[in-house]
Structure 1
Amino acid sequence: MRRRITAALLAAAVATLSACTAAPVHDKTDTKLIGLGREAIHVGIAYDHAGRGDKSFNDAAGQGIDRAKKDLLVQATEVTTKSEDDEGRSAALRELVQAGSNPIIAVGFLYAGAVKTVAAEHPDRLFAIIDDDSVQAKNVVSLIFAEEQGSFLVGVAAALASKSGRVGFIGGVDVPVIRKFWAGYEAGAKSVDSSIRVDSRFLTKPPDFSGFGSPDKGKAAAAAMIDDGADVVYSAAGGSGQGSFEAVAAAQGVWAIGVDSDQYASAEGKVKSRILTSMLKRVDNGVFQEIQAFIKGDRSGGVRRYDLKVDGLGYATSNPAIKKYVSGMEKARFRILSGAEKVPTS
């Protein structure tokens, strides 16, 4: 009797092993299974005029696409607007429509007019736009970030690092989203030292948006601040920030703070060692998560907000010099997360 039971158990084990061996092995991530299954996802992304390689905003979005291609097994078409107007941006979006892309992601609030037009032309496609929530449509989703929260943290670092009691802020263009960076930075610095002076300059005002791509203007603004005594300069100015870094590198005892991406990691030469930290605007997470949501079937419009609670913002720690200020920055983070600190947006 015992031999018959043992034989039966052995046969069952062999059958189970055979079944396991024959079954295909899949990644546990359900999004990968969807990507390999019935529907092939082809994402389109339209960068603003600086395109990939700006070491800032566009590159952060590009990192999200790269991650989606690797982890979610999607295909992607990437384009850059050829002209800085609604016509050029609409043409970029239509190019992605023709490529069969869905969803289509527009990088930056300057795409608002183009998204409104092209989304109305193609109600069967889902469009996502970063940094704008003015387009109200069933097939448009807005990805909005709490830039003021991340800027508050680097403002704390600036005040802790400053020896002169004077720090600077450079905004690319005087628009509401950039004023959020300024407001948070100033509030963070003053939370450490209420008497600290925060000098601020905006490189251009609408309808002139060249302040996001004029390194010469960024360099001149930073040099003027440094001459006036600022020893930490935070730039939220896109490609113009590279010019401000050059001005900081040419001075003695002055720190730069980068934005969007970890700009210490991409800098070279004398500039690299002078970038204390960068405010990380996790556009990469926003892009990746929007593609992930699309794959899982969430294809409705609306607004998605990214703040400290969902890892939408942060700061870089690549430069070892920032370590002495991390404790103060983390205390500020916890105050914001607990609600004890209300960060202004203007």
Structure 2
Amino acid sequence: MKRIVTIFSVIFALMLVVACGNKPATGEQVKDGKTSADSTNSKKAVAVVYSTGGKGDKSFNDATFRGLQKAQKELGITFKEYEPKDPATEAKNALTQFAESGEFDLIIAVGYTMKDSLVAVAQTFPNQKFAIIDETVNGLPNVASILFKEQEGSFLVGALAGMMDKTGTIGFVGANESELINRFYAGYEQGAKYVKPEIKVLPVYIGGNNAFNDQASAKAKTETLVQQGADVIYHAAGASGLGVFQAVKEKNIYGIGVDSNQDGLYPGIILTSMLKYVDNATFDIIKAAVDGKFEAKLQTFGIKENGVGTTNFEFTKDKIGEENLKKLEQIKQDIKDGKIVVKSSI
């Protein structure tokens, strides 16, 4: 009897050893006593819903895309995209579909027109992390907000416009009269009047349902400014700005780009572009999400934070002149040091 019990004990022990010696399931690795699934929840995947105009706008959306590409290259992420024709009607469905999949560390909504849709979806999916660019969402622990001090960068290009103006009149083409676009205009006017107090700054707005992607209307609006004597025109109108540039080229005056470096579209005609480093902000928020350091807070980027600025005047240095460029650099430093305070509205 003892012999039978002993045999069964040996067999049971061998079974226990085999069971305990099993390797982790395929795709798992043991490290410090944890499987990879235990040590990190990062999927290294991101989704983005672009603003009006989508990729190829040479402006805001393209800057976001560059941030995604940088994250893909440096962080090894994958990403999915959606380009709505009308964010007001399509954004909610796109955001919902991305959230329902459960595939993404972070879902990014590009542009202030996304706010209502994002809030609704973020409330429905409280465990999904979201970020919105150019708008503030308060009170939701799963949404990060990214804003820029557009007025500071616009002050710089307004000062340059004032330096280059010959007629006493410059122009501004905005997509609409929203709070965001008014920050661009406010800074532009303040900068121009900082260097030339008596200068006239004439604003026009595209409006309508397609304000950020209506090149024909933007071109026509620009022509009205030229008729009123404007000889430098700055736009804050997304893809519509391409129509602004067509007009300034035909009228042989200067234009100023926005968001991305647009100087090369019409070399020598576009004095500079007011850069919003949306690409850097996009990369940073992705990295935080992937690294498990995501925070649902407002982040604001101005000149001091290297969030806005100008191009390096690749095609226009000689036209602007060394003296004006030195003045512009001093103005930039004064804003950074707090000696010049740029208001967000006027």
User: What range describes the TM-score normalised by the shorter chain of this pair?
Assistant: 0.7 to 0.9
Q: Deviations over 1:32-60 (max 9, x none)?
A: xx9xx943310111102311111111001
Matched ranges for 1:1-346 at <5 A: 38=40, 39-85=42-88, 87-97=89-99, 98=101, 100-204=103-207, 208-252=208-252, 254-265=253-264, 267=265, 271-322=266-317, 324=321, 325-346=324-345
Structure 2 CA distance for partners of 1:177 and 1:146, relative to 1, 3 Å: same
The amino acid of 1:93's aligned partner reads L
The amino acid of 1:214's aligned partner reads D
Q: CA deviation at 1:149?
A: 0.3
8 Å CA contact 2:173–2:204 kept in 1: the answer is yes
User: Which 4+ runs in 1 deviate beyond 6 A?
Assistant: none
Structure 1 SS opposite 2:342: coil
8 Å CA contact 2:263–2:315 kept in 1: the answer is no
- For 2:123 and 2:111, locate their aligned partners in 1 and report how far apart those are by CA, in whole Å: 19
Cα root mean square deviation, aligned: 1.7
TM-score with structure 2 length normalisation?
A: 0.84
Structure 1 SS opposite 2:191: helix
Q: CA deviation at 1:224?
A: 0.9
8 Å CA contact 2:268–2:315 kept in 1: the answer is no
Gaps of 5+ in 1: 1-33
- For 1:203 and 1:82, locate their aligned partners in 2 and report how far apart those are by CA, in whole Å: 17
Aligned residues: 302
Q: CA deviation at 1:80?
A: 1.3
- For 1:264 and 1:320, locate their aligned partners in 2 and report how far apart those are by CA, in whole Å: 7
- For 2:43 and 2:325, locate their aligned partners in 1 and report how far apart those are by CA, in whole Å: 43
Structure 2 CA distance for partners of 1:311 and 1:209, relative to 1, 3 Å: farther
Structure 2 SS opposite 1:148: helix
Structure 2 CA distance for partners of 1:202 and 1:83, relative to 1, 3 Å: closer
Gaps of 5+ in 2: 1-35
Q: CA deviation at 1:82?
A: 4.6
8 Å CA contact 1:51–1:80 kept in 2: the answer is yes
- For 1:191 and 1:289, locate their aligned partners in 2 and report how far apart those are by CA, in whole Å: 34
TM-score with structure 1 length normalisation?
A: 0.84
- For 2:146 and 2:306, locate their aligned partners in 1 and report how far apart those are by CA, in whole Å: 14
Q: Deviations over 1:101-133 (max 9, x none)?
A: 221110000000110011111111110001111
Q: Could you tell me the percent identity over the aligned residues?
A: 35
The amino acid of 2:341's aligned partner reads K
8 Å CA contact 1:275–1:319 kept in 2: the answer is no
The amino acid of 1:92's aligned partner reads A
Structure 2 SS opposite 1:330: helix
8 Å CA contact 2:53–2:85 kept in 1: the answer is no
